[in-house]
Chains A and B, each alone.
Chain A
């Protein structure tokens, strides 16, 4: 289970897994250092991971403060085959017309995203993968 190897580029195995409509589990740190884990939608495109969130949630705040996160992709057919990816926040892109969250929603549900709530602001995070460890690099 433990993978000590390290690679910086994404292998074909990781890219194949990232093409599936599975969730990525992201780890950020709260103020004070407690670990926060969230399953989130993502897309891997042009070598970057793209995430989207409501700005009021905690993990986007953690990510904006630390500018880094860890992501875990797990093979849905084999739960101990995984890639752990450390990532760096490259840029933050407002999504006022909810185009990107609609795109992500179609990837996962086949339909566009729900209506935004009053005062809800969506933002897209561009994440550069920095290091990959695990059983499928």
Chain B
């Protein structure tokens, strides 16, 4: 069951820093990588090329965990355990361009082809933003 983000968490996800995502490799180890994200209507969205390791992992095992941490204050962090509920092509790169504006304040500078956007539903939120749970 998806969980609803608290007002504090919603405000935290508006802040601009990359999320670190963790996905399960076939061999049982975890792959971690920093990525751009946004939160919309309670879901997290990330974007990548279809050749990215994490996207291949998600197609096999949709579980994904995001770590959000304020790079200026290490005590402000949240862990969001979730799962991929949907993915779609990003024709023309509209979504990556949207994320580029959130993070860089300008149009996306790299090729906008061959990209996908991924919707993640949060299942569990822990960490310091909502208090320890």
Measuring CB to CB, which residues of chain A are less than 8 angstroms from any residue of chain B? Answer: 1-2, 22-23, 25, 27-29, 33-39, 68-70, 72, 74, 76, 79-80, 82, 84, 86
Contact = CB atoms under 8 A, between A and B. Distances in A.
Given A23-B74, A35-B22, A79-B71, A72 B53 contact: no
Given A29-B28, A70-B31, A37 B20 contact: yes
Nearest to A133: B31
B77 A39 contact: yes
B20 A35 contact: no
A23 B75 CA distance: 10
Interface of B: 17-18, 20, 22-24, 28-34, 52-53, 61, 63-67, 69, 71, 74, 77, 79, 81
Contact of B34 (A28, A38, A70, A74): A74
Top 8 closest A-B pairs, CB basis?
A: A27-B30, A35-B22, A37-B67, A35-B65, A72-B32, A27-B22, A70-B30, A37-B65
Contacts of B20: 25, 37, 72, 74
A35 B81 contact: yes
Contacts, number: 77
B33 A84 contact: yes
Interface hub of A23, A28, A39 (most chain B Cβ within 10 A): A39
Contact of A35 (B18, B63, B77): B63
| A contact face: mostly helix, strand, loop, or mixed | strand
A1 B17 CA distance: 15
Contact of B30 (A2, A35, A74): A35
A34 B74 contact: no
A37 B22 contact: yes
A28 to B, nearest CB: 8
B69 to A, nearest CB: 6
Given A25-B20, A33-B24, A76 B71 contact: yes
A28 B74 CA distance: 20
Contacts of B66: 37
